Amino acid sequence: MLGHEETGLRTVFALAALPAIAGLFTLRQVRDAPPAPRDRELPRTPLPSAFRALLVATVVFGLANSSDTLLLLRARSAGLSAAQLAFAYAAVNLVYALLAVPLGALSDRIGRRRLLIAGWAVYAAVYAGFAAATSAWQLWTLFAAYGVYYASAEGTVKAWVGDLVPVQRRGAAYGLYAAAAGLLVLPASVIAGGLWDAAGPNWAFGVGAVTATVALAILVLSPSLRPAGEGN
């Protein structure tokens, strides 16, 4: 990319540092809830292995989860106008708003793991689609699918953290999760931007899709994340 496009891309990834900085402040502020008086003599329980496995998966997925502005840059380079970009991102938010509540209820019935697997699979497919898209209708479909990812994954993983961790350790658990999700926006965006500059958007999105698939494999294969009643 040359000229103003190169400058714009670098600006986007510089701005991606802001969520990372916010993640640092979140980590500094979050503490474990103080124990009730009757529990003061009890030893602090370690974070469960299932949460640690989920955190590893979150870290790997975070390396694939670059700034959403990358999607808009890809759509712009593929021919969508500025007005169309606004409507495309509005479609993401509309799909999210319509599906967040019913998919949250679905996670109560089928389990957090299954819905998060589905959400991350959609994400990987969306990134693979952005790597290969050649027409406007494909881009519109991908933006709508991206809204499905948000609705199925964003609230689900946070609810799952609460399910996996004892009440007295949830402050630490949510702090670690917020740090893992927030701090990795910057390196993920830098990696994607470097790949875009060096080899083009297909590589940027293709590598993101592969990385998300690795995170998905951790969810699927980790024994500690597979509740006895949920099966495979």
Question: Under a CB-based contact definition with an 8 Å cutoff, are residues 151 and 37 in contact?
Answer: no
pLDDT(32) > 70: no
Give the Cα separation of 123 and 65 in Å (integer). 9
Give the Cα separation of 182 and 184 in Å (integer). 6
The pLDDT, as a whole number, for residue 35 is 47
The pLDDT, as a whole number, for residue 33 is 44
Q: Distance of CA 153 to CAs 2, 6, 55, 74, 159, Å?
A: 36, 32, 14, 23, 10
pLDDT(218) > 90: yes
The pLDDT, as a whole number, for residue 205 is 97
Q: Which helix (H) or strand (E) covers residue 18, if one does?
A: helix 17-29
Domains parsed from the chain with CATH numbers: 3-27+67-222 (1.20.1250.20)
Mean pLDDT across 157-164: 93
The pLDDT, as a whole number, for residue 193 is 93
List pLDDT tens digits, range 101-153.
999 999 999 999 999 999 999 999 999 999 999 888 999 999 999 999 999 99
The pLDDT, as a whole number, for residue 25 is 45
The pLDDT, as a whole number, for residue 43 is 56
